[in-house]
A and B are shown apart, each in its own frame.
Chain A
Amino acid sequence: DVKVTQSSRYLVKRTGEKVFLECVQDMDHENMFWYRQDPGLGLRLIYFSYDVKMKEKGDIPEGYSVSREKKERFSLILESASTNQTSMYLCASSLPQSGNTIYFGEGSWLTVV
């Protein structure tokens, strides 16, 4: 089975802290994604990557950056966390061809106080 692992399920951080959310997939997928999920807003794409060292902005990249140094790992970085970044963060991966199933991690609940 494909496994997408998000290292932290629940985090509480202070305003202004630098936050790292780590995601690892074990199926050699080229594509990796970071989404943010908020009630009533669904899933919104923050950043995605189609290859190592490659990154593309999604719909809401402001306040976030990403790193993809290895194919299996895609990290989301909040340079200076703010309270409006309190949310559920979902990592996902897929094979490159359009229409392939997207596999999700269990999600990381981030609370910024």
Chain B
Amino acid sequence: AQTVTQSQPEMSVQEAETVTLSCTYDTSENNYYLFWYKQPPSRQMILVIRQEAYKQQNATENRFSVNFQKAAKSFSLKISDSQLGDTAMYFCAFVDDKIIFGKGTRLHILP
């Protein structure tokens, strides 16, 4: 069965710093998708970034980028120039025919 592990329950960084959130997963599938979702204190879950497993190029969305290592089954999220509004819970998700979420990393951006 697929599993998704986020090993950092909580992190804090200073504003403007770069932070990396880790995510590993376990699957025997070759074709799948990976997502990072953000859930700020207002509770609306929103998509941050999406990666197709068949693409070798790492996805990037403005200050957010991923380091996708398919062989290692790792999908980390890097936030550059972190901002106060990045404070949120971040969930990694694995998708093939099911959607499996990690338990989340609570990120605090400190002024």
Contacts and interface: CB of A to CB of B under 8 A. Distances in A.
Interface of A: 33, 35, 40-43, 45, 88, 90, 92, 98-99, 101-102, 104-107
Interface of B: 9, 32-33, 35, 37, 42-47, 50, 52, 91, 93, 95-97, 99, 101-104
B96 A107 contact: no
Most buried by B among A33, A41, A104: A104
A43 B92 CA distance: 11
Nearest to A43: B101
Contacts of A33: 99
Contact of A42 (B46, B95, B101): B101
Given A98-B95, A101-B50, A106 B43 contact: yes
A52 B44 CA distance: 25
A42 B91 contact: yes
